Structure 1
Amino acid sequence: MKRTVSILVSLIAAFSLVKAWAAYQLKSEVKRLFAGSETTTGKYFSHAQLVGLPAPVQRYFKHVLKEGQPYINHVRLRHVGQFKTDLKKGWVDIKGEQYFTAPTPGFIWIGTTAFFTARDMFLNGQGSLKVKLFSLLQVAEGTGPTYDEGELLRWLGESAWFPTNLLPTKNLSWSHIDENTARLRFTYNQLTVTYNVSFNALGEITVMETKRYMGEKSLETWVGRFSDYQEIYGVVVPTKAEGIWRLPSGDHSYAKFQVKVMEYNKPELFR
């Protein structure tokens, strides 16, 4: 009996130490994320910036931003939702928090379920993914060029949550496809990513489609869907997002998130 209790106490202590180390590591990474980003302090949105942009893109910015809107440098959010660890498996509940920087590309996402924690990030120009079972046993890790590209794509697509980041710059451009669709192109550190972006009649981004690596070798069509737009701090943004793999066998949804908290220009960890 005493031996069993001793083992349990040791396991609890080990688990507590692992959680404490994970919390310290996250704090350090978020601090490094925010410290390494440029800022656009003193820049404000103007309708004059929209001259020459495709019609649906102009409609979008006029809908989601007010004249004089300050540029957004930092974002933090919390979400709930559902997630699939495998397209053939069922849904599990997930909650997460995420931190973004702009205009320097960067983000850290931490997703937690009853069984695993996942950390997805683009930090210092490099993408990575880590998954741990019960926050202890690492069961998946991904780094390298395909993850660099995939995480940069995620950052760019999720810029719909901080739309001043989608305004044209020397690295970001929009080109015409048709009256409701435009191509978004972004270059960073010699890496170029693109989306075909669809807009509804109001000017809201509804679908972003691209080619993205599923794992390390298979380049597939990836689709992000946005909905339930709401005004937050004067900016109109989607509060629901869905990730979908469009495969030869059909569309396979694997992530459905609903934003519960979103805050701008607070470059610090949630407490």
Structure 2
Amino acid sequence: MMILKKPMTIILSFIVLILILLVVGKVFVSLKFKNEVGTLFSESGNISHKKFHYNQLQGLPEPVQRYFRLVLKEGQPYISYIRLKHDGLFKTDQKKDWVAIAGEQYFTTQTPGFIWKGTTSMFTAKDRYISSTGRLVVSLFSILKIADGRGEKYDHGELLRWLGESVWFPTNLLPNQHLQWFPIDNTTARLAFSYNNISISYIVSFNAKGEIIHFQTQRYMGDGGLTTWIGIVSNYKKINGVKVPTTIEAIYRLKEGDFSYAKFKVNKIEYDKPFKF
């Protein structure tokens, strides 16, 4: 028995060390994320002095006018900062099972930007567009980095994400020097956005109520080529005086079939609170 005591002590010490490293690592990651949120908000400004008025809708495609009349009220201040929380399901590969995920996300509008952190039982994913730069980092158990995507394809893809998720803060979809709407038919319109030498666009579909229900674009799938990407939103609710969807599904349309990889349900949205939850 005495012979086994030393190996058991070594094993227990090793386990304790691993647990300490995990705790320290998670604390470090949490502090780093808080700093990144602070950087995001510091790089943008407050535009709540601007107000939405229905006369701004003149000349816009008919379904776009219906949308803004539905989701915004006369005199609605422009939204500057957004923070939200969600839960849902996530899939890393078509052949993998869905896993539960919880996320929090922060956006700015005067300067395009966002940061998102999604946490599962096994990994943490962090998506961001800050300082005109896109990046995707995935870490095992929140501390061991297993993927770090960056470069022009990620700049393009993360700016697309920011624009599509503007359905959660719809004053960001009003026309400005960077953003335009173009007519297609009574239920669809093209949304075009140009910023920092990147031009992106969506084909946006609306239902009879005026809700945006579907948007489609060409997006890089990781480091691969451009692929059809689809976002489906639903379950609109009035939150903070603004009508927004509370569920979203993200899909890549591949040759072998649609790859649905994210199904999120928003639990909380708050405006113009430029600090972390």
Counterpart in the other structure of 2:263: 256
Q: 1:6 Cα shift?
A: 1.5
Counterpart in the other structure of 1:32: 39
Does 1:246 pair with 2:253?
yes
Note the alpha carbon deviations across 1:180-225, whole angstroms, 9 max, x for none: 0000001110111100000000110000100000122321100000
Counterpart in the other structure of 1:145: 152
Counterpart in the other structure of 1:116: 123
Counterpart in the other structure of 1:84: 91
Counterpart in the other structure of 1:154: 161
Q: How does 1:116-265 map to 2 (within 5 A)?
A: 116-265=123-272
Structure 1 letter corresponding to 2:142 = S
Q: Look up the SS of the partner of 1:230 in the other structure.
A: strand
For this pair of structures, how many residues does the alignment match? 270
Structure 2 letter corresponding to 1:192 = S
Cα separation, 1, equivalents of 2:242 and 2:260: 28
Note the alpha carbon deviations across 1:130-179, whole angstroms, 9 max, x for none: 00111122111100000000000000000000000000001100000111
Cα separation, 2, equivalents of 1:134 and 1:247: 30
Structure 2 gaps, min length 5: 1-7
Counterpart in the other structure of 1:98: 105
Cα separation, 2, equivalents of 1:250 and 1:41: 43
Note the alpha carbon deviations across 1:28-66, whole angstroms, 9 max, x for none: 100000000132131111001100000000000000000
Checking the alignment, whether the CA contact within 8 Å between 2:29 and 2:143 is kept in structure 1 is: no
Cα separation, 2, equivalents of 1:85 and 1:154: 17
Q: Look up the SS of the partner of 2:237 in the other structure.
A: strand
Counterpart in the other structure of 2:4: none
Q: Look up the SS of the partner of 2:127 in the other structure.
A: strand
Does 1:14 pair with 2:21?
yes
Cα separation, 2, equivalents of 1:41 and 1:201: 30
Q: Look up the SS of the partner of 1:148 in the other structure.
A: helix
Cα separation, 1, equivalents of 2:94 and 2:115: 24
Does 1:44 pair with 2:51?
yes
Specify the structure having the higher radius of gyration (Cα): 2
Q: Look up the SS of the partner of 1:70 in the other structure.
A: coil
Q: Look up the SS of the partner of 2:59 in the other structure.
A: coil
Cα separation, 2, equivalents of 1:219 and 1:87: 18
Q: 1:250 Cα shift?
A: 2.4
Structure 2 letter corresponding to 1:35 = S
Q: 1:3 Cα shift?
A: 1.5
Structure 2 letter corresponding to 1:128 = R
Q: Look up the SS of the partner of 1:87 in the other structure.
A: coil
Q: Tell me the TM-score normalised to structure 2 length.
A: 0.96
Q: 1:246 Cα shift?
A: 1.1
Q: Look up the SS of the partner of 1:178 in the other structure.
A: coil
- What do you get for the CA RMSD once the two structures are aligned? 0.8
Cα separation, 1, equivalents of 2:176 and 2:95: 41
Note the alpha carbon deviations across 1:95-118, whole angstroms, 9 max, x for none: 100000012110000000111000
